[in-house]
Chains A and B, each alone.
Chain A
């Protein structure tokens, strides 16, 4: 196996599992340390720089970082990364004077962003600080897009959206609200230097079943219903409600229904409980509010009486897997189940829709109705038009929309400067020793063995009273501090200098997770079998260094390293050092 090149930013970046897993590559351990130090504003700004909406994401992010968190591999639960982000947003001071100021002199380029959601606002922010004149067109009366219209207020209050969208506006971005764009051709006719489309996936999938039309008055498409609830057009629902679907929208629907008068609210899902698309914590919240989830039932028909919905008929199924592990749902043959209800909410999927984009202007769509894009640059077949967020590659989540916004902004910047879009600015990195003394490091290397802290919530009675009252109270300072201690500081990297090593084995002996081995070199697969502790997780890299006197190599399995620094404390010659790894992911304006 070849020696590891740790000067390639990707290697150590991958060791910081949370940051690597975050589509926007938020430097998680760095902001957690700032929270631990009580510097919430700096923690907030680290987030803001990467993900633009820390207060929003700290409440509703899909948190791909948490399943990736290293602690999850050595402890019961990962660090509560998402809710610590909220802590930074909740406790920060006024940060307005920390925001970048757009240049007085603009560069003369005009950019149109269509849609007022996270992708558009990210593009607007990244480009505005580079001197672009950005105009955001939004059909809503207040910005935030689907973040405002889809996410219930008890999870994400308007005040947080107002604040964080306000920071983008503050940069001199022009927001044109209540402005419905009906034709891309017309937009292109105005002399925009580039157009960004971030219009989301606005269409909810319907259930075209017998009885759908007859009982239409009490059957609602989930995302439309949520928008109506968000804007106060709907304020009540029947006592018995069935929510069809097992995703996060279904969870938002059922919890909203509970707050609008639903007493017997139930979720009915085709799949099993484990395979549901909803995040585990959202399912947990729904169950906590007394909403049962019924699995392996496929809706067959809406039953009705004189135009009035009476219930839903379900077929019982079970999951069968073929040789390739593909699942199919097979009827069990048992009698159908009928559930009575007053209202049905359909939350079985979301689709893209571009009725306002003419099909004869040179912008190609694929057979699923999605624009044909370059996956890296997000440029469409019309060179001036770029896509991002749910509108680009189908429905995902806010943090992905933000990440795509950053990428699209880089593309637009390169495009406007006449540079090739494929020559993208690379990330830069820095490594700084954290050694302060013989046993002193500038990070807290004592590994906490405490369990994950629960986020305090309102009592159910209180929470269900008012649909606008935020359910989670967030960590207080004490809980937040305890939770920050659980972070393993994966960005403080173990860096090995073979020339200094005397092969005394001190690091091998002290390592609490036995991840260091000195042995002869070999092919990676074979080498993994010879390490001190078994190395079964091939997704985690081996760090290999050669140049030792005995001709052996040092192999470190990055999988369960606790970054406790004990190898470096035990090393008599300083061959091991703990160095803080900082990766700067390029944003628009960075030089390639």
Chain B
């Protein structure tokens, strides 16, 4: 943590995106998390992704619950909309906001405590409903704010800082998301921005429920020998299934790849996902296969990362519910409250 605000001085040739913004323009307040916290790296990855995608900050809504992870939306996108909800209730607040205004990009930020413990019901139903959002879980396996007790995602057999062995089975949020109908499921590591930034970019451009489980070591309570969520452990056991490049529709440059090593996925908005094969033959369009692969590898002690599943033909909640296109706040009183005659007609229909 740092007390001083970041100085605004910048080199004259600092990179600017199509909107004329620098990366610094996508930052928020100075982080009050512990020095070395993985969450800060995820914040930086969000900043980078929004910068790269030329996102207008005022078109983003970031929502979170309670916990170290849920503090982070304060540390990025300082010019975006934000809502810090009750513990574990971010998914329902986000769902409500998305229903009211579909023109914003919804970014849900949560942690393993917020999403896998107190908020697991909310998590499950937001995935089921197909809310168009990017849902990031900053997963460190411990309750950092209350001094490092195991969370529900801590692996069985992992050791706490005090030497206690965890005897409970872990919840695999990525596996749950796959099962519950998320149409973009990824896992990554806060210490690997080369992998993480494109995954966030792909998720932001995905037109349905996108879930990213980001393993994010807690330097203070869960970065020791015996932990399965330490920087060293994750680096040693990380097996990526693919590497992603996100190509925007307007981009002319097509990278060249050796034949057979690339899978192209065109998303609803025209953005193209280039999935480069790494090692094993992995099919990210096969939901059942993805679930099996996750389970198999987990049993071997591996941490599978990359874009695990993507279905670009999926439909989101608005399509399911046939909602109005315009945001509610732009509809006007007459439209929203059509008067007693309309009510009578409606009641007559139901009699």
Please give the residue numbers on chain A whose beta carbons come within 8 Å of chain B beta carbons, in ascending order: 71, 73-75, 439, 445-447, 449, 502-506, 508-510, 512-514, 533-534, 536, 549-550, 559-560, 562, 564, 566, 569-573
Can you list 6 A-B contacts with CB-CB less than 8 angstroms, sorted by A residue number?
Answer: A502-B219, A502-B223, A504-B41, A514-B23, A564-B4, A571-B36
Set of chain A residues within 8 Å of B36, measured between Cβ atoms = 502, 504, 506, 570-573
Name which residue of chain A comes closest to B24, CB basis. A512
- Contact partner, A446, options B4, B11, B231, Cβ 8 Å: B4
Asked if B8 is an interface residue, CB under 8 A from chain A, the answer is yes
The segment from B12-20, B140-148, B163-171 that touches chain A is B12-20
Cβ contact within 8 Å between B11 and A533: yes
Cβ contact within 8 Å between A550 and B235: yes
How far apart sit A532 and B44, CA to CA, in the bound complex (Å)?
12
Cβ contact within 8 Å between B231 and A502: yes
Asked if B331 is an interface residue, CB under 8 A from chain A, the answer is no
Asked if B38 is an interface residue, CB under 8 A from chain A, the answer is yes
- Contact partner, A510, options B2, B13, B34, B191, Cβ 8 Å: B2
The 0/1 profile, CB within 8 Å of A marked 1, for residues 311-327 of chain B is 00000000000000000
Name which residue of chain A comes closest to B12, CB basis. A73
Name which residue of chain A comes closest to B38, CB basis. A504
Name which residue of chain B comes closest to A71, CB basis. B9
Name, among A505, A534, A573, the residue most crowded by chain B CB atoms within 10 Å (CB to CB): A505
Q: A445-B4, A504-B217, A549-B235 are in contact. Are A74 and B11 (CB under 8 A)?
A: yes
Q: A502-B36, A509-B40, A509-B43 are in contact. Are A534 and B15 (CB under 8 A)?
A: yes
How far apart sit A571 and B1, CA to CA, in the bound complex (Å)?
9
- Contact partner, B35, options A71, A559, A570, Cβ 8 Å: A570
Q: A446-B4, A506-B37 are in contact. Are A513 and B232 (CB under 8 A)?
A: no
Name which residue of chain B comes closest to A70, CB basis. B9
Cβ contact within 8 Å between A533 and B15: yes
Set of chain B residues within 8 Å of A503, measured between Cβ atoms = 191, 231, 235
Q: Which 7 A-B pairs have the closest CB atoms?
A: A572-B36, A447-B7, A509-B44, A74-B9, A560-B11, A504-B36, A512-B6
Set of chain A residues within 8 Å of B188, measured between Cβ atoms = none
Asked if B276 is an interface residue, CB under 8 A from chain A, the answer is no
**Chain B, interface SS category:** loop
Name which residue of chain B comes closest to A511, CB basis. B6
- Contact partner, A572, options B9, B13, B34, B235, Cβ 8 Å: B34
Set of chain B residues within 8 Å of A446, measured between Cβ atoms = 4
Which size class do B's interface residues fall under? 35 or more
Name, among A75, A446, A504, the residue most crowded by chain B CB atoms within 10 Å (CB to CB): A504
How far apart sit A566 and B44, CA to CA, in the bound complex (Å)?
15
Asked if B345 is an interface residue, CB under 8 A from chain A, the answer is no
- Contact partner, B10, options A506, A508, A512, Cβ 8 Å: A512
Q: A503-B191, A510-B2, A549-B232 are in contact. Are A73 and B11 (CB under 8 A)?
A: yes
Q: A439-B3, A569-B2 are in contact. Are A513 and B9 (CB under 8 A)?
A: yes
Cβ contact within 8 Å between A74 and B10: yes
Cβ contact within 8 Å between B44 and A449: no
Asked if B110 is an interface residue, CB under 8 A from chain A, the answer is no
Asked if B190 is an interface residue, CB under 8 A from chain A, the answer is yes
Cβ contact within 8 Å between A506 and B3: no
Cβ contact within 8 Å between B8 and A570: no
Closest Cβ of chain B to A446, distance in Å, is: 5
Closest Cβ of chain B to A514, distance in Å, is: 7
Name which residue of chain B comes closest to A560, CB basis. B11
Cβ contact within 8 Å between A506 and B7: no
Set of chain A residues within 8 Å of B232, measured between Cβ atoms = 502, 549
Closest Cβ of chain A to B5, distance in Å, is: 9
Name which residue of chain B comes closest to A439, CB basis. B3
Cβ contact within 8 Å between B7 and A564: yes
Asked if B193 is an interface residue, CB under 8 A from chain A, the answer is yes
Name which residue of chain B comes closest to A513, CB basis. B11
How far apart sit A534 and B13, CA to CA, in the bound complex (Å)?
7
For the complex with contacts A446-B4, A510-B31, A566-B4, 7 further pairs of A-B residues with Cβ separation under 8 Å are A74-B12, A447-B9, A505-B41, A505-B191, A512-B8, A513-B11, A549-B235
Set of chain B residues within 8 Å of A504, measured between Cβ atoms = 36-38, 41, 190-191, 217, 219, 231
